[in-house]
Amino acid sequence: MKNNLLLHGLWILAAILSFAIGAKFFPANQGVDVAGPVGEVGKSGLADRGEKGEAVEGALGATPAGKPVGDNGQSGALQPLLRKLSGGDIEILGEQFRKGTNPIERRMAFTALLAGLTAENALQVRKQIEHMDHRSAEFREFHYAWGAVGGAEAVMFGADTEEDDMSPALTGWASADPEAALAWFNNLDMENNAGFDALLKDRKIPAAGLTGHLMRGLVQGLADANPDTASRFVQDMVASGHEGAEGMIHIVAGAVMRSDSPAEAALWSEGLPEGKMRDMAMHRMAGHFARSDPEAAASWAENFSREPSSAGVIGEVGHNWATRDAQAAVDWLDSLPAGNGQNIGMHRAMNQWAERDPTAASEYLSTMAASDSKDAAVRGFSSRLAWENPQAAMSWAESIGSDEQRKNAIIGVGRAWSKRDADGAAEWMVASGVSEDVQQAILNPPKRDDNGRQRR
């Protein structure tokens, strides 16, 4: 009798354990990808289309074959779809993408195409999106996804097309397999590779320009995979003398800013090796951080107030804080140790304050003791005021203590005045008795090139 009870008890316990194990470790549907995009499109359009709907249903039930997106270790969005799109499915989804009656349907169809993308069907999928502008998100994302599954083949496909598809493909490849993409790039010998003839010989694109273009794509992909790998690569390029390579740290910074909080992004930039690249990254992060939380950004920036190369960080925080609360920004700047950082910060903050509330800004200036920082503040203030009230701005500029700062401020205000009211500025020049070289500097401002940069 006792044995019987024990037996029943053990079986009941086993049943309960089975339930628990099933619930905990073997959830139903696990491993089925988002029937998501494909299923959704079917719901919204394809399933209602009779014979076309059948084709999709059949395809959705098929077993995986070929190399699905993500086979190369990519996680997340490029996980395998576990269903292979047939040629018919691709055509139907493409039709839906091009002619869907609303933007949501078109979007879902596109996502379904991406989710079912393999190295084998990529060309057929590309036909469905080739009508898109090559700058569009869809065009670029397709090539990104193709690069992730197709690697070099996807990148080199772009060598024979008019559109810019090599760079996004390389980005996708580098995001999925950084080592392979890096090795490919480092071993590039475009001049001796017939694959590049269409670009270098027919379209006469300079090899250096193409290398730079591809490098930007590579850096973006490396940054998507791991910003530290990307910044190390940029650093190597800078060390090897690649022109303009420092600027590519902005691409990495952009990726960090997207994924991390502003405070974390700022810390990331601080951790870069000292040099121009780090300065550029910190400068960028300072603005981003200050727009989000100026007080916290100020606490972070204070650490660099004595570093001459990081003065731009103080300036960026001062400027962005002043757009919200100019008084608080200049109070903070005033509390910093004297130096280039404080001066740049004062210049930018007062420039901003002059735009928002010139009266309050001028009252504050009146209370400042003579100092380099006051000179910088007056210069920032007068350069903005010049566009509203050039006479008053000039009076302020003339009050600057430092000879050099005063001269530069007078030239700046004079130029703005000349643009706004040439006759009035000319009258002032005659009456003021400013030196000939200052008058010439006002009348002959440096020309700007096509990009708006001052020519030297």
Partner 1 sequence: MQNKRVIHCSYFLLTTAMFVVGSQFAEPPSTGAVLPEKEKLSPLVKASPIQKISALAGAEKPMTSPRRNDSSAVQSDDGSPLSLSLLVEKWNGKGLRFEDFAPEKGPLSEGQIEELVLASIKSSDPVERRRAFDRILQEMRQDSFTVEQAMTIRKVMHNNKASGEQWRTFDYAWGANDPEAAVAYIDQISERYRNGYTSNMLPGLASVEPQTAIDLVAGMEGDVRRRMTGRLIEGLADNDIGVATEYVFGLAENEDPHTTEHMRKLAREVVDNEGLEGGLSWAENLEEGRLQGAALWQVANEFTNEDPEAASQWAEQFVGQDQNARLFGEVVREWDDREAAEAWVASLEPSQGQRDALSAVFGFKGANQPHEAVQEIIEMPASQDRDFAINGFISGLAAQDGESAVIWAAEISEPSMRQAAMIRAGRHFFRQDQKAAMDWFAASDLPEASLSQMAGVKVD
Please give the residue ranges that form the binding site for partner 1 (CB under 8 A): 7-8, 11-12, 14-16, 18-24, 26-37, 39-40, 43-44, 74-79, 98-99, 101-104, 107-108, 111, 114-115, 137, 140-141, 144-145, 148, 175, 223-225, 255, 258-261, 264
35 vs 409: CA distance, rounded Å: 65
Residues 6+ apart with CB under 8 A from 32: 82
Closer residue to partner 1 in complex, CB, 148/434: 148
Closer residue to partner 1 in complex, CB, 78/290: 78
**Smallest separation (angstroms) from partner 1 to the CB of 220:** 10
- Cα 316 to Cα 94, 277, 296, 334, 351: the distances in Å are 47, 17, 13, 15, 12
Residues 6+ apart with CB under 8 A from 15: none
Closer residue to partner 1 in complex, CB, 43/324: 43
Closer residue to partner 1 in complex, CB, 46/330: 46
Closer residue to partner 1 in complex, CB, 85/314: 85
**Smallest separation (angstroms) from partner 1 to the CB of 16:** 7
**Smallest separation (angstroms) from partner 1 to the CB of 61:** 15
Q: What residues pair up with 454 in beta bridges, in sequence order?
A: 448
Closer residue to partner 1 in complex, CB, 108/361: 108
Nearest-10 crossing angle of helices 276-292, 249-259: 30
Enter the tokens of residue 242.
Answer: 């690649």
Q: Is residue 157 helix, strand or coil? A: helix
**Smallest separation (angstroms) from partner 1 to the CB of 324:** 14
Other Cβ atoms within 10 Å of 263 Cβ, number: 16
Half-sphere exposure of 63 (CA within 13 A, CB side): 0
Closer residue to partner 1 in complex, CB, 98/406: 98
150 vs 143: CA distance, rounded Å: 10
**Smallest separation (angstroms) from partner 1 to the CB of 233:** 16
**Smallest separation (angstroms) from partner 1 to the CB of 295:** 16
31 vs 82: CA distance, rounded Å: 8
Q: Is residue 26 helix, strand or coil? A: coil
**Smallest separation (angstroms) from partner 1 to the CB of 102:** 4
